A and B are shown apart, each in its own frame.
Chain A
Amino acid sequence: MKFSLKYLLIAFFLFPNLAFGLDVEKAKSFVVDIGNQAIKILKIPVDDKEKRKSELQNLLQEKFDMQLISKVILGGKVTKTASEEQLKKFSQVFELHIVKIYSSQLGTYKGQVFTINNTEIKKKDAFVYTTIESPDYPTTNIVWRIREKKGTPKVIDMQVEGVSLLRTKKNDFAMILDQIGLDGLINKLDQMNQISDLKIPGE
């Protein structure tokens, strides 16, 4: 018993990432799934905006840790003082906000090929480096930051051409949070979510 415990401890220190169960292959196949789902969304006709939005929302709910992302974007100071109800409301409006952003930025399918180039594990997160290539557009580099939540991998940030979703939204919300607080931000996002569908590039 002592013998196996000793080896278990050695294994734990030698391969700390194993303790979290997130390995390179698991992270890779998780991102491949996302890529396939995203290509399917691109292939939905632009006229069917409702379907594009609902598929995107499914993707977010299934593959992204929206709860953690929301908390990080609001920052420790706000999350500590906010009520459960406020945080829940923010999560809801923020999710719709992200759907609005990406359903208008995703574009249409023009032979895009999604490739995984490299994966590395740093501390408890996996970083998956991917590219999207298309004859009509310049190559886009995307890095996915993956963390395991209750045994399931989840995206906690994505960096498109060096620009982090998390950092951009955190900066976008900083001033309004400072000036009119979380309720003000929730109201603002709620209003913005009501605006009519935006024109999709390539539409």
Chain B
Amino acid sequence: MNLSKTKVLLRLLILASLIFATNCSVNKNSVDNNVIIDSTPEAEDPWESLNRGTFAFNQKFDKYLLSPMAKGYRFIFPSEIRTGVRNFLSNLTEPWSSINAALQGDLKNTGNTLARFLINSTVGLLGIFDVAKEIGFEKQKEDFGQTLAVHGVGPGPYLVLPFLGPSTFRDALGKVTSLYADPVTLALERNDKDQWIWIGMALKGIDFREQNLEKIDNLNATSVDFYATLRSLYLERRSSMIRNQKIDETDPFQEFDVE
């Protein structure tokens, strides 16, 4: 047990050092009077040709495996069951969201995510029903990439991850960190149920694709350069999540000057 803890600590230290060794510049003024100034939309794409290669691979993976599976999932299971599965998986992300909200100094959302987890795990029958939302506890997902951003770590280069899609160097580190620090993941590992981590990830991917079957296909059909469109969408959406959508406190167009 001690050996595995040391391994985890060592991995986290390596990750932390990687953050500072890469282009993820740290902007100490990023949190100013509770207004988060975020530079994610300006992330550069120095590895574009490699990213485009991975993107092409992901497109094939989507065409021949993910999209057919999402269609099958929609065909076999009624929407009530799909919503239940989505809520169950989403509920398992609440403890990690809560930890990240606390690390970001967002006490309100720390309480909100904890309350959601407690209410939905009990009254919501292990999270199958989102009872918390009905009584006013709206979901606000937080992850380690967002935590790093709130503390001033820049996005670093844009990255397309195999199977997982658009990301940035910072957000990819956030994803890896969650594998070693998310309490639900750690509990599954400790009980030798590692396979459920991957099954959960696969289910989440299929569910996301099912929810967005037409939207993603239409976006592809109406994009001149689908790679660039997805990059733009990802970076702006991420920035909005980092700022917790407090758009009325900052310029939503982030200095995008209309001529």
A residues whose Cβ falls under 8 Å from a Cβ of B: 68, 71-72, 76, 97, 100-101, 104-105, 117-118, 120, 122, 125, 127, 129, 141, 143, 145, 147, 156-157, 159, 161-164, 166-168, 171-176, 185, 188-189, 192, 195, 198-201, 203
B237 surroundings in chain A (CB, below 8 A): 161-163
B253 surroundings in chain A (CB, below 8 A): 145, 157, 159, 164
B residues whose Cβ falls under 8 Å from a Cβ of A: 41, 213-215, 217-219, 221-225, 228-229, 231-233, 236-237, 239-241, 243, 245, 247-248, 251-253, 256, 258-259
Inter-subunit contact A71/B259 (CB<8 Å)? yes
The 9 A-B pairs of least Cβ separation, nearest first, read A162-B240, A171-B232, A104-B218, A201-B214, A101-B222, A163-B236, A172-B229, A198-B218, A143-B252
Q: Given A122-B251, A141-B245, A199-B214 in contact, is the A157-B258 Cβ separation under 8 Å?
A: yes
B239 surroundings in chain A (CB, below 8 A): 162
Q: Chain B at the A interface: mostly helix, strand, loop or mixed?
A: helix
CB distance from A79 to the nearest CB of B (A): 9
Name which of A157, A161, A195 has the most chain B CB atoms within 10 A of its CB. Answer: A161
A101 surroundings in chain B (CB, below 8 A): 218, 222
Inter-subunit contact B218/A105 (CB<8 Å)? yes
- Give bound CA distance, A168 to B240, whole Å: 14
CB distance from B233 to the nearest CB of A (A): 5
A68 surroundings in chain B (CB, below 8 A): 258
A143 surroundings in chain B (CB, below 8 A): 247, 252
- Give bound CA distance, A97 to B221, whole Å: 11
Inter-subunit contact A162/B241 (CB<8 Å)? yes
State which of A97, A118, A164 has its C-beta within 8 Å of the C-beta of B248.
A118
Residue of A nearest to B213 (CB): A201
Inter-subunit contact B229/A171 (CB<8 Å)? yes
Inter-subunit contact A172/B224 (CB<8 Å)? yes
- Give bound CA distance, A97 to B229, whole Å: 14
Inter-subunit contact A168/B252 (CB<8 Å)? no
State which of A71, A166, A176, A198 has its C-beta within 8 Å of the C-beta of B256.
A166
